[in-house]
Amino acid sequence: MMTSIPTPLAQLKPGTRGRVARITRDLTGRAERLAALGVTPGASITVLQTFPGIVFECDQTELAVERAVARSIFVLAE
């Protein structure tokens, strides 16, 4: 099933796969740092874990992030 509305990564359940739709830009350079780790629009994502921290796989990189970061990553779930 393909939903057409991008959802923040923080709201996705473990096991969800999808593609990054966009990343909220702010003044802290969060989007830049994520981009440097390969989290850019179009990148494929799999949610691995949501508690105590959010862990996801982006391309071949496993990343752990805090909830605030996961809220700014919008994913088109597949």
Partner 1 sequence: MPCAMSPGDAIGARTPSLLRLRAHPLKIALVGNPNVGKSVVFGRLTGRYATVSNYPGTTVAITSGRALVGAEVCDVIDTPGVNALEGVLSEDERITKQLLVTGGAELVIQVADARNLRRALMLTSQIADTGLPMILVLNMSDEAHARGITIDIASLSDHLGIPVIEAVAPDGRGVAELREALPSARRARAADHARMSHADWADAGAKSFRKMSVVSRGRFQEWIGRAVRKPLTGLPILALVLYLTYLFVGVFGAQTLVGALEEGLFNGIINPAAIAAAARIPFPLIRDFLVGQYGVITMGLTYAIAIVLPVVTTFFLVFGFLEDSGYIPRLAIFSDRLFRSMGLNGKAVLPMILGLGCDTMATMTTRILGTPKERLIAITLLALGVPCSAQLATIMGILGGISVWALLLLFGVVLSQMVLVGFLAARALPGDRSDFILELPPIRLPRLRNLLTKTLIRVRWYLGEAVPLFLIGTALLFALDRVGALEQLTRVARPVVTGALGLPGESAEVFVMGFLRRDYGAAGLFRMAHDGSLSGVQSVVALTVMTLFVPCVANLLMIIKERGVRVGLAILAAVTVIALGTGSALNFALSILHVAF
Helix ranges restricted to H, the chain: 30-36, 67-71
Residue 69 token pair = 């970061």
Q: How far is the CB of 49 from partner 1 (least distance, A)?
A: 6
Q: Whole-angstrom Cα distance, residue 19 to residue 16?
A: 10
Closer by beta carbon to partner 1, 3 or else 53:
53
- Which residues here bind partner 1, judged by CB under 8 A? 28-30, 32-38, 40, 42-43, 48-49, 51-53, 55, 59-66, 68-69
Q: How far is the CB of 36 from partner 1 (least distance, A)?
A: 4
